[in-house]
Amino acid sequence: MTERERISLKAQSFFDELWKRGDPWELETSDFERKRYARLIAMLDQSKYARILEIGCGAGAFTRLLAPMAQRLIALDVSSRAIAAARAAQGSFKEVEFRVANVMDYEPKAEGPWDLIVMSETVYYLGWLYSFFDVTWLASELFAATRVGGELLLANTQGDAIEPLLRPSIIRTYHNLFSNVGYNIRAEEVFSGTKNGVSIEVLITLFEKM
| pLDDT on residue 162 | 74
Q: State which residues form the domain around 132.
A: 3-208
- With left for phi above 0 and alpha for psi between -120 and 50, is residue 56 left, alpha or beta? left
DSSP type of residue 164: G
DSSP letters for 15-82: HHHHHHTS-TT-TTT-HHHHHHHHHHHHH---S-EEEEEEES-TTSTTHHHHGGGEEEEEEEES-HHH
Q: How many domains does the chain have?
A: 1
User: Which residues are 74's β-sheet partners?
Assistant: 53, 97
Collect all residues with Cβ–Cβ distance below 8 Å to 37 and sequence separation of at least 6: 61, 62, 65
**Per-residue pLDDT tens for 111-169?**
999 999 999 999 999 999 999 999 999 999 999 999 999 999 999 999 876 788 899 99
| pLDDT on residue 47 | 78
Cβ atoms of 182 and 119 closer than 8 Å: no
For residue 25, the domain's CATH number is 3.40.50.150
Query: Can you tell me the distance from the alpha carbon of 90 to that of 85, in angstroms, rounded to the nearest whole number?
Result: 9
| pLDDT on residue 94 | 85
Which residues of the chain, if any, have pLDDT below 50? none
